[in-house]
Amino acid sequence: MADSAAPAPAPDPAEANPTIFGRILRGEIPCDQVYADERCLAFRDVHPQAPVHILVIPREHLVSLAEASPEHAALLGHLLLVAAQVARQEGLEGFRTVINSGAEAGQTVFHLHVHVLGGRPLAWPPG
């Protein structure tokens, strides 16, 4: 006799994300949201490094850019397009996008995120 039980639903990727960004995506921690769609969320950084400092995060848990593969190409492009959109939305004429990948590069939350910085002159080199 065959088992007629329905297969278990696939786990929600956000539930497997133990980072603070996972908690934000699950609604456990509030954020100052500036943009959201089915693929990403953008919100103001709680420790801004510029007058405008927004984080754009994918809903899919991806540890860092170094962990990305060709299957993530569309998602990575989408994150950058959203970064540009929120910069325009904030009235920025010039802005910087930053993706830290790994602890040595300054990544402190191990969920891929794009920083959008602006609202003041930004020096080069950055760090």
What residues form DSSP beta bridges with 88? none
**What is the separation, in whole angstroms, between the first and last Cα of the chain?**
66
| CB 68, CB 101: distance < 8 Å | no
Structure tokens at 56: 């754009």
Sequence-distant (≥ 6) Cβ neighbours of residue 110 within 8 angstroms = 19, 63, 64
- Check 53, 61, 72, 113 and give the catalytic one: 113
Q: What share of the chain is helix, strand, coil (3-state, %, to 5)?
A: 30, 20, 50
**113 annotated active-site:** yes
Which residues are identified as catalytic?
A: 113
